[in-house]
Amino acid sequence: MNRPFISALSSIHMLALKLVLLLYIFLLPTAQTLWGQVPIDSTKFVLPVKIPVFFSGNFGELRASHFHAGIDIKTQGKTGFPIYSIDEGYVYRINISGGGYGNALYVRHPNGYSSVYAHLEAFSPEIEKKVLQLQYEKQKFDQNIFPAPDEFTVTKGQQIGLSGNTGRSGGPHLHFEIRDSQTEEPLNPFFFYPHIIDTTPPVINRIAIYPLSDSSWVNGSQEPFIFDLKKLPIDNQVTVEASGTIGFGIDATEYLSGSNNRCGLYTIELLGPNGEILYTSQIDRLNFSQNRMILSHVDYAQRKKNGHKLQKSFLQAGNSLSIYQKDAPGTFPLSDTSTYRFTYRIHDFHGNADSISFRIKSVASPFSPTVRQATPNYPVVWNEATTLEFNEVKIQFPAKALFETIDFEFEACGTRDSLVSEVYRLHRADVPLFRPFRLSIPYQADTSLLDKAFILQLDTLEGKPIRFSQGGESDADRFISTRSYDFGYFAIGIDTVAPKIKILNPDKDYGMIGKIEIFAKDELTGISHYEAYLDDTWILFRYDAKYDYYYHLLEDLDWERGKVRTLRFIAEDAKGNRSELIQEIIY
Using left for φ > 0, alpha for ψ between -120 and 50, and beta otherwise, residue 103 falls in beta
CA distance 326 to 146: 38
What pLDDT does 36 receive?
A: 42
- pLDDT digit string (tens) for 532-544? 999 999 999 999 9
Residues 46 and 164 in one domain: yes
pLDDT at 217 over 90: yes
Residues 187 and 43 in one domain: yes
Region 59-88 average pLDDT: 97
pLDDT at 480 over 60: yes
Region 59-66 average pLDDT: 96
Q: Phi/psi of residue 216, each to 5°? A: -90, 150
* Helix, strand or coil, per DSSP, at residue 150: coil
What pLDDT does 77 receive?
A: 96
Question: Interior CA angle at 288 toward 283 and 290, to 5°?
Answer: 75
Weakest mean pLDDT among 311-315, 364-368, 409-413, 553-557:
364-368
What pLDDT does 367 receive?
A: 62
CA distance 19 to 17: 5
- pLDDT digit string (tens) for 244-269? 999 999 999 999 999 999 999 999 99
> What residues contact residue 247 under an 8 Å CB cut-off, 6+ apart?
209, 210, 212, 312, 313, 314, 330, 331, 332
Residues 281 and 352 in one domain: yes
Weakest mean pLDDT among 52-56, 477-481, 546-550:
477-481
Instruction: Please check whether residue 3 lies inside any domain of the structure.
Output: no
Q: What is the CATH number of the domain that holds 77?
A: 2.70.70.10
What pLDDT does 417 receive?
A: 84
Instruction: Please check whether residue 170 lies inside any domain of the structure.
Output: yes
Instruction: Please check whether residue 10 lies inside any domain of the structure.
Output: no
Residues 477 and 444 in one domain: yes
* Confidence tier at 41 by pLDDT (50, 70, 90): low
Please provide the size of the chain in residues: 587
> What residues contact residue 10 under an 8 Å CB cut-off, 6+ apart?
none
Instruction: Please check whether residue 545 lies inside any domain of the structure.
Output: yes
Q: What is the CATH number of the domain that holds 546?
A: 2.60.40.760
Instruction: Please check whether residue 489 lies inside any domain of the structure.
Output: yes
Domain-terminating residue out of 192, 215, 239: 192
Residues 431 and 534 in one domain: no
C-alpha atoms less than 13 angstroms from C-alpha of 106 in its C-beta half-sphere: 20
* Confidence tier at 496 by pLDDT (50, 70, 90): very high
What pLDDT does 509 receive?
A: 74
151 residue type, one letter: E
CA distance 243 to 534: 73
Residues 351 and 229 in one domain: yes
Q: Which residue has the higher pLDDT, 469 or 255?
A: 255
Region 167-175 average pLDDT: 97
Instruction: Please check whether residue 465 lies inside any domain of the structure.
Output: yes
What pLDDT does 21 receive?
A: 41
Contact 295, 277 (CB under 8 A): no
Q: Tell me what percent of the residues of the chain surpass a pLDDT of 90.
A: 76
- pLDDT digit string (tens) for 125-166? 999 999 999 999 999 999 999 999 999 999 999 999 999 999
Instruction: Please check whether residue 9 lies inside any domain of the structure.
Output: no
Region 216-225 average pLDDT: 92
Alpha helix segments (H runs only) across 315-466: none
Concatenated DSSP letters of 341-361: EEEEEEE-TTS-EEEEEEEEE
How far from 400 is each of 26, 292, 316, 504, CA to CA, in Å?
Answer: 42, 12, 12, 47
Residues 216 and 131 in one domain: no
Q: What is the CATH number of the domain that holds 452?
A: 2.60.220.30
Residues 167 and 241 in one domain: no
Structural domains counted in the chain:
4
Residues 477 and 518 in one domain: no
In the predicted model, what is the mean pLDDT of the chain? 89
Q: Tell me what percent of the residues of the chain surpass a pLDDT of 70.
A: 88
- pLDDT digit string (tens) for 81-119? 999 999 999 999 999 999 999 999 999 999 999 999 999
pLDDT at 284 over 90: yes
* Confidence tier at 475 by pLDDT (50, 70, 90): low
What are the CB-based long-range contacts (under 8 Å, 24+) for 101-108?
101/167, 101/168, 101/175, 102/164, 102/165, 102/166, 102/167, 102/168, 102/169, 103/161, 103/164, 103/166, 103/167, 104/167, 105/160, 105/161, 107/154, 107/160, 108/149, 108/181
Domain-terminating residue out of 459, 494, 529: 494
pLDDT at 11 over 50: no
Beta bridge partners of 491: 456
Using left for φ > 0, alpha for ψ between -120 and 50, and beta otherwise, residue 295 falls in alpha
Q: Which residue has the higher pLDDT, 461 or 65?
A: 65
Region 568-577 average pLDDT: 96
Region 293-306 average pLDDT: 96
- pLDDT digit string (tens) for 320-351? 999 998 777 889 999 888 999 999 999 999 99
Task: State the first-to-last Cα distance of the chain, in angstroms, to the nearest integer.
Answer: 65
Instruction: Kindly calculate the radius of gyration of the chain based on its CA atoms and give it in whole angstroms.
Output: 27
pLDDT at 39 over 60: no
Residues 468 and 355 in one domain: no
Of 353, 351, 342, whose CA–CA distance to 314 is shortest?
Answer: 342
Instruction: Please check whether residue 106 lies inside any domain of the structure.
Output: yes
pLDDT at 298 over 60: yes
pLDDT at 491 over 90: yes
Q: Which residue has the higher pLDDT, 33 or 190?
A: 190
Using left for φ > 0, alpha for ψ between -120 and 50, and beta otherwise, residue 155 falls in beta
Contact 476, 465 (CB under 8 A): no
Q: What is the CATH number of the domain that holds 313?
A: 2.70.50
Q: Which residue has the higher pLDDT, 187 or 465?
A: 187
Residues 53 and 128 in one domain: yes
* Confidence tier at 2 by pLDDT (50, 70, 90): very low
Domain-terminating residue out of 494, 518, 542: 494
Of 494, 504, 488, whose CA–CA distance to 541 is shortest?
Answer: 504
* Confidence tier at 231 by pLDDT (50, 70, 90): confident
Question: Interior CA angle at 116 toward 284 and 39, to 5°?
Answer: 35
Residue 385 DSSP label: -
Domain housing 122: 32-192
Residues 86 and 182 in one domain: yes
pLDDT at 436 over 90: yes
What pLDDT does 311 receive?
A: 98
What pLDDT does 37 receive?
A: 47
